[in-house]
Amino acid sequence: MNELNHNTLQHALQRLPEYEPPAALWDVLEESLDAEEMLGESVRALPTYEPPAQVWENLEAALEQKIAAKPALRVAIFRRMVAAAAVGLVLLSAWWFFKTENSSGEQIVVSQEKLDEQIRASVQEEEDSAFELVQTLCQSRAPVCEQPEFKNLKSELDELTQAKESLRQALGQYGDDPSLAAQLVRIERERSGVLRQMMSMI
């Protein structure tokens, strides 16, 4: 089977630049190899020791004690597991008994939270004149609308207005959800703060 583009590969390999490693590199490699050889010789020169017979006897005695203690430990663990399973079975039986006995008297109760009218009034207020004034100024390309700080405030105001509209739609879908209403009040307060800052710059 012929290799594709063999000549092209050979020409490319011949054109590759050649590099000579620095001379210090070979010295470093040689020192590293010498250090490894010296370490091996030092390890072989270390004296060997034979532990006294008492050490082996102590180890053997300790192992025999552990082996003897294992069955007792297994029996204790097994007893605890059996006791836990029995308690669980008793609790499960009691729960099942009370559930089936009281199933005939079950009732489904539906409740609905009512939203405070003051919150509803503050949430459903009309667009204020300050917002309309800012919109009119920026549509007429007033110089204040070109200032970077004013642009940042306008961008923040637009985001808050979008969030406010989204929450109003969600309130329309989900009715009197107190958490949505509270979020809407918080957004209105933030909008008022941004509008105050913008009005002070006009």
**Residues 67-82: what's their mean pLDDT?**
75
Average of per-residue pLDDT values in the chain = 77
Question: How far is Cα 190 from Cα 161, in angstroms, rounded to an integer?
Answer: 10
* Whether the Cβ atoms of residue 162 and residue 131 lie closer than 8 Å to each other: no
pLDDT in tens, 84-124: 888 888 888 888 887 776 555 556 665 555 555 555 455 44
Between CA 144 and CA 151 the distance in angstroms is: 9
Query: Helix or strand or coil: residue 177?
Result: coil
What DSSP line would sit under 34-100, residue for residue?
A: HHHHHHHHHHHHS------HHHHHHHHHHHHHHHHHHHHHHHHHHHHHHHHHHHHHHHHHHHHHHHH
Q: What local confidence, expressed as pLDDT, does residue 17 receive? A: 85
Percent of the chain clearing pLDDT 70 (strictly above): 80
Separation between Cα atoms, residue 24 and residue 21, nearest integer Å? 8
Higher pLDDT, 175 or 63: 63
User: Would the pLDDT of 60 be above 60?
Assistant: yes
- Per-residue confidence (pLDDT) for residue 124, from 0 to 100: 43
* Dihedral in degrees, nearest 10, Cα atoms 19, 21, 22, 26: -160
Q: What is the DSSP string of 100-139?
A: HHSGGG-------PPPPHHHHHHHTPPPPHHHHHHHHHHH
Please say whether the beta carbons of 171 and 123 come within 8 A.
yes
pLDDT at 113: 54
Specify the pLDDT at position 126. 45
pLDDT computed for residue 123 by the predictor: 42
Q: For residue range 146-197, what is the model confidence (pLDDT) as tens digits?
A: 888 888 888 888 888 888 888 888 777 666 677 777 888 888 888 888 888 8
